Structure 1
Amino acid sequence: MSQQDTEQQYEQPTEAPGYIDDVTDAEAREEAHRARGTVRPITVVGNPVLHHACRTVTEFDADLAQLIDDMFASQRAAEGVGLAANQIGVDLRVLVYDCPDDNGVRHTGHIVNPVLDELPPERRVLDDSNEGCLSVPGAYAELPRPDYASVQGQDMHGNPIAVQGTGFFARCLQHETDHLNGYLYIDRLSKRDRKDALRQMEELTPAYETVPND
């Protein structure tokens, strides 16, 4: 997911049992992943790996740990705040994030096999801020999403984890989970807004390496 400016403020959710602490030592943890990782080019809209649901991770091994490191390195190189594995061409259900919430608190972590929780009606307060994507470089569009998100999944060792977020960070969690289900944010736009986003992309040159579509 691309970075964006945000002005709206949201109340932090009450911490529930099972939610991980992804705030403490966020900078050091991101730097450690990135130092071990290798930057890979970003796939863009039209690449087949972006347009179908990714495979469930079943092997929690050194290859998975290296993938997560590479994803952090690639995310930073592209100046993103979230990245799904298929955005570097890997057909596996893995996402990473290094994203602030609307209060400026930095959240850093990874989720394997993420599943977005269904929200009760009282938590479905929509935020219609702009959204961008590293796989649709240079384009932004308003897209309503709930301003709170809760995701269940596993860590790189296979342990169950849960992550929650508000505001911009909630948008990031929803955006990256969408990727792993085969959807880009432009797939949720009207035909006119999708066409405009693709036009924006065509008019700009990405500031990071991308995988050309054949």
Structure 2
Amino acid sequence: MAIREILEAPDPRLKTVSDPVETFDDDLKKLAEDMFETMYDAHGIGLAAIQVGEPVRLLVIDLQEEDPDAEPVPCDHDGHAHTHQPVINDPRVFVNPEILDPSEEMKAYQEGCLSVPEIFADVDRPARCRVRYQDLDGNPHEEEMDGMLAVCIQHEMDHLNGILFIDHLSRLKRNMALKKLKKMREAA
């Protein structure tokens, strides 16, 4: 496994429409493993292959919910002793995903993106959707999704079509976000 570089806006590769996966092999499994490692390293909950420069219809999601029933665990990962709730990992892989029957009911969520770091904005998306996808072995699946999983899958699927979450914003808000991102890069 390897941590890969995450492409950041305005990198033109992020506007690429990704190709369907046709070969389900060890290279695809390795790419998915690298994507999980990259996503966890960047503290994200979803990542599309194009974000690491691979224009294929593959995405990974792990909502990483805290386990409310677990005892807090001592931790000093950042050099400071403190406790945190253990996390329940639920890594999910979606190959060639398609959204079917999005609900007419819309819901706004504040979204962020590893390719647009430090920028957050409310985006309206269908509250529920049915998703057809394949797993890493090519087996077909279909699943109803709602809540954060529905938001995350729609956000990541946008990447597969060359769309960033800021593309859902007004031109003014999008330009402000890109200007803020440019200033942050210049300051670093």
Does TM, scored on the shorter chain, surpass 0.5?
yes
Of stretches 134-143 and 123-132 in structure 1, the one that deviates more from structure 2 is 123-132
Shift of residue 112, structure 1, vs aligned partner: 0.5
Shift of residue 202, structure 1, vs aligned partner: 2.6
In the alignment, is residue 133 of structure 1 matched against residue 113 of structure 2?
A: yes
- Amino acid across the alignment from 1:204: M
Structure 1 or 2, whichever has the larger Rg, is 2
- Amino acid across the alignment from 2:93: H
The 5-angstrom pairing of residues 1-214 of structure 1 reads: 37-99=1-63, 107-119=90-102, 123-204=103-184
Shift of residue 100, structure 1, vs aligned partner: 5.4
Q: For the Cα contact (< 8 Å) 1:98–1:108, is it kept in 2?
A: yes
- Amino acid across the alignment from 1:90: E
* RMSD across aligned positions (CA): 2.0
TM-score, normalisation: structure 2:
0.81
Q: Which has the higher contact order (CA 8 A, sep 6+)?
A: 1
Counterpart-to-counterpart distance in 1, 2:33 and 2:176? 34
Of stretches 70-79 and 181-190 in structure 1, the one that deviates more from structure 2 is 181-190
Please identify which structure carries the higher strand content.
2
Stretches of structure 2 lacking an aligned partner (at least 5 in a row)? 69-87
Q: For the Cα contact (< 8 Å) 1:100–1:169, is it kept in 2?
A: no
- Amino acid across the alignment from 1:55: D
Counterpart-to-counterpart distance in 1, 2:154 and 2:97? 10
Identity percentage over the alignment?
38
Counterpart-to-counterpart distance in 2, 1:51 and 1:155? 25
Give deviations 1:128-165, integer Å, cap 9, x for gaps.
12111111111011111112132111111110012432
Q: Where does structure 1 differ by over 3 angstroms across 4 or more consecutive aligned residues? A: 104-107
Q: How many residues align?
A: 165
SS in 1 for 2:137: coil
Shift of residue 85, structure 1, vs aligned partner: 0.1
SS in 1 for 2:62: strand
